[in-house]
A = this chain, B = another copy of it.
């Protein structure tokens, strides 16, 4: 099936950014697309993102921003560490995560579809600042 023009623009947006850093809220996607397609409406963005999520083209997750973030689904899975104090986001590539998911699938008879793990905590800088162990 051919993608709608909006879907293509969304994919272009992701293509313009490094895979690991490209995670946008629906609102951010909207503000990026709007200048390229001035007639576009917010609801169209929400509907396109939902369609693409169902189709496995993008994944959605909660990074603690009060809004869902979407990113393109690529071959390389990666995960994020979000600092609750300074908001810094670190990207980690960790095969261990995939291994754990496979193990959980086996042990629980459950197909894990989450492919983007977001963990919250405190980054090194914030730990050094407030609580020098």
Give the interface of A toward B (CB within 8 A): 62, 81, 83-84, 90, 92, 94, 96-97, 100-101, 103-105, 107-114, 117, 119-124, 127
Contact = CB atoms under 8 A, between A and B. Distances in A.
Contact of A92 (B83, B104, B111, B113): B104
A110 B122 contact: yes
B119 A92 contact: no
A84 B113 contact: yes
B104 A114 contact: no
A110 B114 contact: no
15 contacts: A62-B62, A92-B107, A92-B108, A94-B107, A96-B104, A100-B100, A101-B119, A104-B119, A110-B121, A110-B124, A113-B121, A113-B122, A114-B119, A114-B120, A117-B117
A120 B113 contact: yes
A119 B123 CA distance: 23
A59 to B, nearest CB: 10
